[in-house]
Amino acid sequence: MTERSGNAYKARLLLAMLGVPYEQVLVDLAHAENRKPLFLKLNPRGQVPVLEDGGRVYWDSTAILVYIARKHEAHDWLPLDAEAMAEVMQWLALAQNEVRYGLQAAYVMLTYNRGGHLAECQDLGRSALAVLDGRLSGHDWLALERPTLADIACYPYAASAPQAGIALEPYPAVVRWIKRIEALPGWVQCHQG
């Protein structure tokens, strides 16, 4: 994993909130360590996060969040019954679509000076924030009236929207929800040290 990846942060955040110890291995994205054969053996997509556990390797933050929640029987964070699980999973889908290709993409372009269609990504990012704000205007959490994987998956790149060139002021319910998440027991910062 790398400390600056919002996707790796999701896994670190859940592990911290569950009090599960883990070893963090940093991957040097700036020097394309993630494109070297050794890393591609772990994740053929060449992306962090990757989780190694019990002699097996898992990639993609959604799969990793689900794995951690199930393995540690964190039913509050990812319930087993059909309705509740689907309610959580729909937000994981938003995290992997509008958030990933909108907020994350714009964040990466501005923070790491990468090329791309910035305005389009920012528009997509704003559409993600509007959906989040709509839900959070009448609820404290994205699903099930309690913190779940839905919040962990959407939070990192919503919180870093200003670094993606998107002001959070038009989304006041999102701003209150970010503060609520950051007050949860076990919350850790994205960038350590």
Token duo for residue 83:
């309705």
Residue 85's Cβ-side half-sphere holds a number of Cα atoms within 13 Å equal to 9
User: Does residue 34 interact with ligand GSH by CB under 6 A?
Assistant: yes
CB of 27 to ligand GSH, least distance (A): 8
Q: How far apart are CA 133 and CA 142, in angstroms?
A: 10
Residue number with CB closer to ligand GSH (32 or 134): 32
Other Cβ atoms less than 10 A from the Cβ of 116: the count is: 12
- Residues in region 13-32 near ligand GSH by CB under 6 A: 29
CB of 185 to ligand GSH, least distance (A): 25
Q: Which residues contact 148 (CB under 8 A, 6 or more apart)?
A: 76, 77, 78, 79, 88, 91, 141, 142
| Alpha-carbon distance values, 153 to 13, 20, 113 (Å) | 10, 18, 24
Which range in 60-68, 125-133, 138-146, 168-176 contacts ligand GSH by CB under 6 A? 60-68
For 148, list phi and psi in degrees, rounded to 5. Answer: -140, 180
**Would you count residue 47 as binding ligand GSH (CB under 6 A)?**
yes
- Interface with ligand GSH (CB under 6 A), residue from 58, 96, 144, 180: 96
Stretch that binds ligand GSH, among 54-62, 80-88, 122-130, 177-185 (CB under 6 A): 54-62
* Interacting residues of 125 by C-beta distance below 8 A, sequence separation 6+: 98, 99, 102, 103, 105, 106, 157, 161, 164, 166
User: Cβ(109)–Cβ(124) under 8 Å?
Assistant: no
Smallest distance from the beta carbon of 162 to ligand GSH, in angstroms?
Answer: 17
Question: Does 102 sit near ligand GSH (CB under 6 A)?
Answer: no
**Is 5 one of the binding residues for ligand GSH (CB under 6 A)?**
yes
> Interface mask (CB under 6 A) for ligand GSH, residues 159-178, using x and -?
--------------------
What residue ranges bind ligand GSH (CB under 6 A)? 5-7, 29, 34, 46-49, 60-62, 96, 100
